[in-house]
């Protein structure tokens, strides 16, 4: 039962199906293939379960040979990226990724599965070195949450230790283990190896040069000083990716689509009191001509003062499917477990 003692009206996100469909139809008319958009809010992430939504969208649709895939995301699961690439490759001979803005981390992995990457003036990929949040991760003092740790960060700490510590016989791990559990070290190293392999495997769907795929994978996983380093078109070409400038007219239409999705994904929090609120936010959208899937987070949050953290309650979050039936938008739930 929702904690809403004063019967406050719950805020709901706008579902702009007719507007987004109009833009998508206009985009598809200018292309020689199918158009699919995969848009994720900054509060959402690419996950393994998304592959089932892609499947439901594609299974009954007559497909052309080429897919134009618009991606906007700041990352998530690398394994999810590989599974999505594998699925899309069963339906399409060629994939062209369109990027008008952010396409970072695991979303960069997804983009690497395309034969061609087209990037607008605001577009960027990113480094894909993996960070993890382990059960034994350090705790953030301010928010009382577990902190993510990356292989790059650990390597840099050890490098600084070698450079700065005068007594070379001191073992850095004796000190570091006071702050970072040994199991975290092992898990981060394993995650880093997985990231390199995932990148290489994704590239192999269209790249026959194994050595080139290996070099690109290693570079994207270890060559940049920051996980969020923006890889723009010039840098993407230098790395060896088959990247080109996105046509200005198409870039403008994608930015219009991004604005509509951003409006759908606006924060829709309803405050009940100082310790309770309701979250009703669209986190991600997967859409083609005729059908829109969106993941809507719908749950209550309660603040536990003793633990200094919010806990979720009454979670009704799910994928929703929007289609036009007899001139009216029909929205139904699509459950994935």
pLDDT tens, 238-273?
999 999 999 999 999 999 999 999 999 998 888 888
* Residue 337: how many other CB atoms lie within 10 Å: 4
Predicted local distance difference test score (pLDDT) of residue 191: 59
Predicted local distance difference test score (pLDDT) of residue 335: 83
Q: What is the dihedral of CA 253, 40, 222, 179, to 10 degrees?
A: 150
Q: How far is CA 18 from CA 60, 122, 127, 328, in A?
A: 21, 26, 36, 10
Residue 234: how many CA atoms within 13 Å on its side-chain side?
A: 2
- The predicted model gives 93-121 an average pLDDT of 97
Distance CA 76, CA 73 (A): 8
Q: Show the CA angle centred on residue 59, arms to residues 315 and 110, nearest 5°.
A: 70
Q: Where are the domains of the chain?
A: 17-127+224-334, 131-189
Residue 1 reports pLDDT greater than 60: no
- In this predicted model, what pLDDT tens digit does every residue of 265-297 receive, in sequence order? 998 888 888 899 888 999 999 999 999 999 999
Q: How far is CA 59 from CA 20, 35, 53, 216, 225, in A?
A: 21, 15, 10, 32, 41
Predicted local distance difference test score (pLDDT) of residue 130: 62
- In this predicted model, what pLDDT tens digit does every residue of 111-131 receive, in sequence order? 999 999 999 999 999 988 666
CATH class of the region 17-127+224-334 = alpha beta
- In this predicted model, what pLDDT tens digit does every residue of 14-66 receive, in sequence order? 999 999 999 999 999 999 999 999 999 999 999 999 999 999 999 988 789 99
DSSP 73: B
Q: Judging by beta carbons within 10 Å of its beta carbon (0-12, 13-18, 19+), is residue 317 exposed, middle or buried?
A: middle
């Amino acid at each position: 039962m929702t904690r809403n003692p004063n019967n406050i009206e719950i805020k709901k996100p706008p579902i702009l199906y007719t507007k987004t469909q109009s833009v998508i139809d206009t985009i598809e008319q200018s292309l020689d293939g199918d158009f699919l958009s995969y848009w994720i809010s900054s509060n959402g992430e690419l996950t393994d379960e998304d592959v089932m939504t892609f499947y439901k969208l594609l299974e009954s649709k007559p497909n052309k040979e080429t897919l134009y895939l618009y991606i906007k995301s700041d990352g998530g699961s690398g394994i999810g990226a590989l599974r999505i690439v594998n699925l899309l490759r069963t339906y399409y001979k060629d994939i062209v990724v369109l990027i008008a803005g952010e396409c970072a981390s695991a979303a960069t992995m997804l983009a690497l599965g395309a034969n061609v990457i087209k990037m607008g003036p605001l577009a960027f990929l990113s480094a894909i070195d993996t960070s993890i949040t382990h059960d034994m991760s350090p705790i953030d003092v301010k928010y009382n949450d577990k902190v993510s740790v990356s292989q790059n960060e650990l390597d840099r700490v050890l490098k600084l230790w070698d450079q700065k510590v005068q007594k070379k016989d001191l073992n850095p791990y004796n000190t570091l283990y006071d702050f970072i559990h040994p199991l975290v070290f092992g898990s981060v190293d394993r995650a880093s190896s997985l990231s390199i392999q995932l990148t290489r495997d994704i590239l192999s769907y269209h790249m026959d040069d194994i050595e080139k795929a290996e070099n690109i994978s290693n570079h994207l996983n270890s060559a940049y000083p920051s996980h969020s380093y923006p890889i723009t078109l010039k840098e993407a070409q230098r790395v060896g990716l088959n990247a080109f400038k996105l046509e200005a007219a198409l870039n403008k239409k994608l930015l219009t689509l991004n604005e509509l999705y951003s409006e759908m994904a606006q924060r829709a929090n309803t405050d009940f009191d100082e310790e309770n609120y309701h979250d009703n936010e669209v986190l991600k959208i997967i859409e083609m001509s005729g059908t829109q899937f969106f993941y809507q987070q719908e749950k209550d949050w309660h603040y536990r003062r003793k633990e200094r953290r919010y806990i979720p309650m009454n979670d009704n979050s799910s994928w929703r499917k929007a289609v036009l039936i007899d001139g009216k938008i029909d929205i139904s739930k699509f459950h994935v477990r």
